[in-house]
A and B are shown apart, each in its own frame.
Chain A
Amino acid sequence: MAGSNPATTTEYIQHHLTNLVYGKLPAGFERHQADGAVEVLAEDTWTMAHGGVEAAAMGFWAIHVDSMLWSIGLGALFCWMFVRAAKKVSTDVPSGWLNFVEMVVEFIDGSVKDAFHGRNKMVAPLALTIFVWIFLMNLMDLLPVDLIPTLLSYAGVHYQKIVPSTDPNITLGMALGVFILMLFYSIKIKGTGFVKELTMHPFNHWGFIPINLFMETVGLLAKPFSLGLRLFGNMYAGEMIFILIATMFGAMASAGALGGGLQAALFGAHESFVLWGVGFAAVVALCWLNLKGKIATGRMILLVAAVMVVVGGIFNLAGGVMQWGWAVFHILVITLQAFIFMVLTVVYLSMAHEDH
């Protein structure tokens, strides 16, 4: 995790914001190896990028392996969960998981019926996919920011962004998919009416065609971009705040016994997994005792806070409380953003289906 001085804190944040990239390094690129040697590439090379500089040098011919894999994995999870329900579905009394799936489906169906006035069999499944998939992608934000990247770094994977919706490629990719559908249905349903809409609005006179065309095109293009960037911005900002709160734990080493607890007093900047393991076990044990009814909730919270202070000092306690608070607030944000993306998609497609 992060060190104590500002330089390494910056590195920590940048590291968290760097994707795992596979792409083409151009010929003549100077690769800096870990041992300090410099390798000059003789020709274009497809390879894993080592760090942000190489990723930037790859330009367009690169793919974010982590974003893609998490995105595909979560989409597959969505399909698996809902197909499992679809296999069990019958006209009898539903139960368990099927209840939940039917609740989601009914919610989406209601939203689509409210916002979409055309006739199109595609819109409702599209809305369901968007809502659940984006929700799952956003949900990855609630996992502790260091958990999976740290585990993967032991497996030799040094960069990992586990929240696909903090990658503009992902959000804009979906928004562009929606945009293509908008164009397709606009042309299919309206035909020449679509051209007229672009040229004769808002000023219905042939002399204003260039102005109209400009304004309508900007309006049209703004839809997918605002759609994709809104989701990206919200998730990116949320992720950033999680990372910033996490840097508090890094500030412990230099903060002394009061600020950094036993960790700072005994081990300094070196992480002690034994100490943290004991602290973690103590917190889990306290929660378990509370659930068993052996210890009152108020006392449990005080004891958990005390354990956190002893192990990691005030920074640890403050960081823990802030992580928890932001995560609770973020539950609202991730759901809301998934919902907004879905509703706007439905509204845009509804506009594409309205023939004036």
Chain B
Amino acid sequence: MNINLTLFGQMLTFAFFVWFCMKFVWPVIITAMEERQQKIADGLDAADRAMRDLELAQDKATDQLKEAKQDAAVIVDQANKRANQIVDEAKQQAISEGDRLKAAAQAEVEQEVNRAKEELRAKVAGLALAGAEKVLEAAIDEKANRDLVDKLAAQL
């Protein structure tokens, strides 16, 4: 148990190993560990953020879906209304067109009837006179009987 040079030998050795550890061991390991810690913390942060983003996106998607459904319903409603309207309008148009065509046809028919009547009148007067001439075999003053026959023809 002598105290001797070993004491100083150990002090030197001690100083050397502390220096070695301080230079080559500790900073390398502790820096890497701190960097890794930072990396892991960042990773967890990013994961949290992503989770929140996902939730937001899901909420947004749900909202949009709801909105889209509402829009679709409105559009379908409007389309139905419009379709009904178009059908109604078409019906009205068809009815009015039918009416118009009917009226035109009636007018034409009336016109034809009138023309036929005129023709008939004209022919009736001639025929009546010719008939009367034949019956009487006498010359009748055409002028004197003309009024009478016209009156007769007008009554047709």
Q: Are A129 and B3 in contact (CB under 8 A)?
A: no
Give me the interface of A with B, judged by CB distance under 8 Å.
23, 55-56, 58-64, 67-68, 71-72, 75, 78-79, 82-83, 85-86, 89-92, 94, 101-102, 105-106, 109, 121-122, 124-126, 128-129, 133, 167-170, 172-174, 176-177, 180
Contact of A102 with B33 in the complex, beta carbons under 8 Å:
yes
Q: Which residues of B contact A133 (CB under 8 A)?
A: 17
Name 26 interchain pairs, CB-CB below 8 A, sorted by A. A23-B4, A55-B2, A60-B5, A61-B4, A62-B6, A64-B4, A68-B9, A68-B10, A75-B13, A75-B16, A79-B24, A82-B21, A85-B29, A86-B24, A90-B32, A91-B35, A91-B39, A102-B29, A105-B26, A109-B30, A129-B21, A133-B17, A168-B3, A174-B11, A176-B7, A180-B11
Q: Determine the main DSSP class of B at the interface with A.
A: helix
A68 and B6 within 8 A (CB): yes
Expressed in whole angstroms, the minimum distance between the Cβ of A173 and any Cβ of chain B is: 3
Interface residues on B, range: 20 to 34
Chain A at the B interface: SS class: helix
A124 and B26 contacting across the interface, CB-CB below 8 Å = yes
Q: Assess whether A86 is in contact with B25, with CB atoms less than 8 Å apart.
A: yes
A125 CB contacts on chain B under 8 angstroms: 18, 21-22, 25-27
Chain A residues near B18 (CB-CB < 8 A)? 122, 125-126, 129, 177
**Additional pairs, 15, CB under 8 Å, beyond known A125-B25, A169-B7:** A23-B4, A59-B4, A68-B13, A79-B17, A79-B20, A91-B36, A109-B30, A121-B22, A125-B18, A169-B3, A169-B6, A173-B7, A173-B10, A177-B14, A180-B11
Q: Which residues of B contact A105 (CB under 8 A)?
A: 26, 29-30, 33
Q: Closest residue to A52 on the B side, CB-wise?
A: B2
Are A173 and B36 interface neighbours, CB within 8 A? no
On whether A75 and B17 interact (CB within 8 A), knowing A56-B2, A63-B5, A173-B9, the answer reads yes
